[in-house]
Structure 1
């Protein structure tokens, strides 16, 4: 990630060569211990009573509205 990050901490290209096997992949395709993702935008909910993870029907409605697949990364601070 240090190699892919620009000086302003944004990512321009997510393509990487894996040091273990020289395979080409991208940072979104790696399997992380916890859910992770790289995005231009994020939706943040702050409802402490909200169901986590959000119900599939709600996620599907957002995907349909936006015209793209979404990746959920649940974070609690």
Structure 2
């Protein structure tokens, strides 16, 4: 049997909300998604790549929109960033030579880098209300990126 997750991460990879804000956001998400199997808030000791697993559909340059996955560049860039515990995500793209960072690449199914994750396992919804996202952002004190993960 497969599982689905709705994952919220701060758009700034190093942002970790205060513990009371994490719990308040977790409680609100549980209230908004009462049929979810589980709702959790977690903090990792270092920045991690949060990806959509089975929903992965590729990655493009945010500057010129070239496909970055066909070239081995993306995997090499991830590997180099991993060596620094994802502290430095800055990259120069092979397609147009532009400077950006791994977190701001155009992931066709959203993905990103973060220490903090707010997750709902099997949320049993196809979409999530924009106003509810704004409420979570207000509680957590940051903008959020939504990642739909499928395993």
Fold similarity call, TM over 0.5: yes
Q: TM-score, normalised by structure 1?
A: 0.80
The CA deviation string for residues 24-59 of structure 1, in whole angstroms up to 9 with x for no partner, is 10112211222111111111102543x233211221
Runs of 4+ in 1 over 4 A off after TM superposition: none
Is contact 1:6-1:12 (8 Å) kept?
no
Q: 1:74 to 1:57 in 2, by over 3 A?
A: same
Match of 1:32 among 97, 107, 115: 107
User: Which residue of the partner structure matches residue 68 of structure 1?
Assistant: 142
Q: Gapped runs of 5+ residues in structure 2? A: 1-77
C-alpha root-mean-square deviation of aligned residues, in Å?
1.7
Richer in strand (by share): 2
Q: Gapped runs of 5+ residues in structure 1? A: none
- The 10-residue stretch of structure 1 (67-76 or 39-48) with the greater mean CA deviation from structure 2: 39-48
Q: Structure 1 CA distance, aligned partners of 2:123 and 2:81?
A: 35
Q: TM-score, normalised by structure 2?
A: 0.44
